[in-house]
Structure 1
Amino acid sequence: MPNNDPKARALADGLAAAEPLPGNETALEGDGLPLATAPGEPTTPMSRSYIFWLMLASFGASIAMMVPLSYGIAVRITELAPGHEEVLGYITGTAQAAYLVISPLVGIWSDRTRSRFGRRSPFIYLGLAIGVVGAVVIGLAPNLLIVGAGWVLGMSGWSIAGAALQTLQADKLPEKQRGKVAALTGLMTQVAPVLGIGIAYAVSSSTLLIFLVPGVIGALLLAIFPLIKPEGSSVSLARSGEMTVKSVVSSYGFNARKYPDFGWNWVGRFVFFVGLYFNTTFGTFFYSQRLDLPVREVAGIVATVGMIGVVAAAAGAIVGGFLSDKLQRRRLFVMLAALLFVGGAVAEATAWSLPQIIAGAVLMQLAIAVFATVDQAIIYAILPERDQAGRYMAVTQFAQKIPSAVAPLIAGVVITIGAVGAEKNYTLLYLVGAAFALIGGLIILLKVKSVR
């Protein structure tokens, strides 16, 4: 496990260590979590009630984001351009690319926000407002161009809110709770899409409600969190230098030589998520083809498979988070996740029956839960500069968002290789995804040194 002493960690990186000056700490606010004029390694544990409301907020961000991504947009494509499922990759990829451009700017803005409501809470509200507008636009869109524009709004909004929640965890979580809290919030992100698709299917007679109901649920849960568990004032926090054009440009990257573990984890995470998005973006169309069902009827199958997968996701989150905390090992669980993902991807690549599809989906759900939980804990441990947590969390998200933008575009080409008639080559797509996931796990296992 990483050394949590600030001096030791600074010396290990070849940096000058700096201790907070006596008297810099403010009184405890909000949930009893300390606010400091110079943010450092958090030490005060989160209370159970804080974790509970954080879990609900994470559930809200996930249900609002994932229902359109995994089901709703596919329905709209089927309505407006039947037979052109490759458009899904173009729409999701474009939205991800748009968010990539703005995310570091939002991170810097968040880091520099000084208000009595804190640094992160204002962005929860900003994100949910934009997300709801996007949901309405997609639901009412008369053509695919407007659907794409609506998803740029929706994707950006829910991502801003979700990033604010993750940065709050980076600000406040001590090392001994990182695995557990990442497990619990990660579990919510696994459960939310499954329940959300079930809800969307129940209101599928109305295209607008497919988008609006999950969006409203997500917005309400996000809005409640800062009200019940206030972040606390950030007015007394010191600013980290002036904001210049050079500092903005540099915020899109980081010094990999200065922070090698952060760099290698970024690369491993990037490669793993390429594999993940290869094997999840076209899930609705994959089920439709392999089970010979109309796309609109697939929601019931997706929800059923997902509900079974929730059990696997719960097991993965608990094993990955709680057990990695107890054993003080993270990288081993990342590699385990990669191997499980390979098993699930191979099973689905060769599946033409519902039982085998379920088996593959369960393995993949388990793998994703383990990886997401443990790698999140690794990120919190190796975060380079905590006074710029928003910026570095945005850079971390590049390792997920770039694949989510690029992989669907490439996947849209891969499924046409060797395709026969209207049947796309999902076998090749899922096998290539498995290879990427395995390589990503190996990179983190072999190259991230300061975390066991």
Structure 2
Amino acid sequence: MSTTSEQPQVATHQVSNRWISLFAISWLGIWLAQLTPFQLTLPEQVNDLLGLDGNNLAESQWHRSVIGFGIVSGVSAIFALIAFPVAGSLSDRTTGRLGRRRPWIFSGVALFAIALVLMGFQHTWVGLAICWSLVITGFSVASSALTALISDQVPVYQRGVVSSWVSAPQAIGVVIGVAVVSLLGLSPIPAYLLVAVLLVVCTLPFAFYLQDPPVGDHGLPSFNLRSVWNELWISPLRERDFGWTLLGRILVNIGNALGTSLLFFLLQFGLHVADPADKVLTLTLVYTVCVVIAALVSGRLSDRLRVRKPFVLGAGVLQGFAAIVIAIQPTLTSTAIAAGLLGAGFGCFLGVDQALATQVLPDAATTGKDLGIMNIAMAVPQALGPLIGAFVVAWFGGFTALYVASAVFGILGGLSVLRVRGVR
């Protein structure tokens, strides 16, 4: 590997299929390790602390479960809010022999894996909140470095395809992780150990394969936490396209989080189906298949057609329509149809949005920091979704309001891309 210091520059050479494959496997490990606990083991630990049976929650109890889970997840969202831009800004300034982004992949994955193992031994609210916040911090550091590589090394005409391999593993990883942990009947300690091992196994090959030559001093000021914090608010306001892209990402992700995070409770207490756990698995598979197909197809098409905005607009509208289907006709059949539409809409968004984000960045020298800010809009809505959703259902007395809110956020998120001027 070359060790010659280089200045950051726009990527012009196409990345190889091997690069993309190892990159995709890295994301599979990251999503599996983050979403499996989020969907399965963390809620189980919360229910244990509350003294509740997660498989037989009474209607008067599920709000307690979701709010308890939401509080732990909400605390971690604060850490994500800080970790994403800070890690990105530090990686922009890294000039050591290991390269610009690689040290942050290694350190993020290490913290991520260690914190996952520690999660299995927690039996208090404080312990859960601290360790899960460390998990999300490690996830944020590693994700920040990996997404910055798209801007560093992938030419614009290939970013749709590469971005789709960030998003498709998200849907695949959660299904694989939940299925393996459930089928093996793993308790929290072995479950967390398993996903930690899979995280390391999936991410290290790409980290070692990566050509990440050191970048010399390119005129950035010394790292300052206050300036990074200020940039959280200044960049979106100062850079029009950056701000509208960020807003659209926030809205679409909140809409998706509201539409998916309380699915089990919709089936059990809204539709009163006899076997909600089995139906959740079926609907999740429908959703996942549609996410993966839509992400891969939209990413490739957006590269070929050299356009991003129509895909993001269509994704937001389709996601909103899916939520309206449930709000108007809440049946098991309509929910299954909506799961497919929601998956297709969100997959189309995921397949193109990351590529769009890399094309509205203000400065090639600060891509890590700016993409870190963009990534907040992916992680924080997911973390807060269950808590926000529980309050919407409680305040408005039913699930109809939840899916109306999901539809409004999705459609507004899609429409916001029309305000972006610098990208077609």
Q: How does the TM-score come out when normalised to structure 1?
A: 0.84
1:124 aligned onto 2:105: yes
Alignment equivalent of 2:45, drawn from 76, 87, 105? 76
CA distance in 2, matches of 1:194, 1:327: 31
- Map of 1:282 onto structure 2: 262
Measure how far apart 1:290 and its partner are: 4.7
Secondary structure of the corresponding residue to residue 224 of structure 1: helix
Unaligned runs of at least 5 residues, structure 1:
1-27, 420-424
Residue 423 of structure 2 aligns to which amino acid in structure 1? V
Q: CA deviation digits over 1:333-359, x for unaligned, max 9?
A: 111111211122233446765443322
Residue 101 of structure 1 aligns to which amino acid in structure 2? I
Alignment equivalent of 2:351, drawn from 373, 389, 396? 373
8 Å Cα contact 2:30/2:203 also seen in 1: yes
- Map of 1:143 onto structure 2: 124
1:441 aligned onto 2:411: no
Runs of 4+ in structure 1 off by over 6 angstroms are none
Change in 2 beyond 3 A, CA 1:304/1:340:
same
CA distance in 2, matches of 1:151, 1:314: 27
8 Å Cα contact 1:141/1:147 also seen in 2: yes
Measure how far apart 1:281 and its partner are: 2.7
Alignment of 1:179-190 (within 5 A): 179-190=160-171
Change in 2 beyond 3 A, CA 1:359/1:202:
same
CA distance in 2, matches of 1:326, 1:124: 30
Change in 2 beyond 3 A, CA 1:413/1:256:
closer
8 Å Cα contact 1:201/1:210 also seen in 2: no
- Map of 2:365 onto structure 1: 387
Alignment equivalent of 1:112, drawn from 93, 100, 114? 93
Change in 2 beyond 3 A, CA 1:194/1:348:
farther
CA distance in 2, matches of 1:248, 1:136: 31
Secondary structure of the corresponding residue to residue 394 of structure 2: coil
Structure 1 residues 201-210 or 330-339, which shifts more? 201-210
Q: CA deviation digits over 1:214-255, x for unaligned, max 9?
A: 23212221122111x133331545352333465334333334
Secondary structure of the corresponding residue to residue 387 of structure 1: helix
Change in 2 beyond 3 A, CA 1:29/1:346:
farther
Structure 1 residues 330-339 or 280-289, which shifts more? 280-289
Alignment equivalent of 2:405, drawn from 432, 436, 439? 432
Q: How does the TM-score come out when normalised to structure 2?
A: 0.89
Give the paired residue count: 412
Alignment of 1:219-230 (within 5 A): 219-227=200-208, 229-230=209-210
Alignment equivalent of 1:310, drawn from 288, 296, 304? 288
CA distance in 2, matches of 1:62, 1:237: 33
8 Å Cα contact 1:342/1:437 also seen in 2: yes
Secondary structure of the corresponding residue to residue 369 of structure 2: helix
CA distance in 2, matches of 1:36, 1:333: 38
Change in 2 beyond 3 A, CA 1:71/1:355:
farther
Q: CA deviation digits over 1:366-414, x for unaligned, max 9?
A: 1111111211111111111111111101111233344345544432311
CA distance in 2, matches of 1:148, 1:392: 27
- Map of 1:320 onto structure 2: 298
1:411 aligned onto 2:411: no
8 Å Cα contact 1:137/1:146 also seen in 2: no
CA distance in 2, matches of 1:350, 1:78: 32
Change in 2 beyond 3 A, CA 1:207/1:353:
farther
8 Å Cα contact 1:111/1:389 also seen in 2: yes
8 Å Cα contact 2:80/2:380 also seen in 1: no
Structure 1 residues 355-364 or 336-345, which shifts more? 355-364
Measure how far apart 1:36 and its partner are: 6.5
Alignment of 1:206-245 (within 5 A): 206-227=187-208, 229-234=209-214, 236=216, 238-244=218-224
Residue 245 of structure 2 aligns to which amino acid in structure 1? N
- Map of 1:43 onto structure 2: 12
Alignment of 1:143-162 (within 5 A): 143-162=124-143
CA distance in 2, matches of 1:53, 1:434: 35
- Map of 2:314 onto structure 1: 336
Structure 1 residues 330-339 or 137-146, which shifts more? 137-146
Secondary structure of the corresponding residue to residue 254 of structure 1: helix
Change in 2 beyond 3 A, CA 1:301/1:44:
same
Once superposed, what is the RMSD of the aligned Cα atoms? 2.5
CA distance in 1, matches of 2:226, 2:116: 35
CA distance in 1, matches of 2:169, 2:155: 21
Q: CA deviation digits over 1:34-57, x for unaligned, max 9?
A: x87221211011011101100100
Residue 71 of structure 1 aligns to which amino acid in structure 2? L
8 Å Cα contact 1:112/1:239 also seen in 2: no
- Map of 1:10 onto structure 2: none
- Map of 1:25 onto structure 2: none
1:92 aligned onto 2:73: yes
1:261 aligned onto 2:241: yes
Alignment equivalent of 1:252, drawn from 214, 232, 235? 232
CA distance in 2, matches of 1:351, 1:391: 43
Residue 261 of structure 1 aligns to which amino acid in structure 2? D
Residue 426 of structure 1 aligns to which amino acid in structure 2? F
Unaligned runs of at least 5 residues, structure 2:
53-60
Alignment of 1:46-57 (within 5 A): 46-57=15-26
Change in 2 beyond 3 A, CA 1:393/1:255:
closer
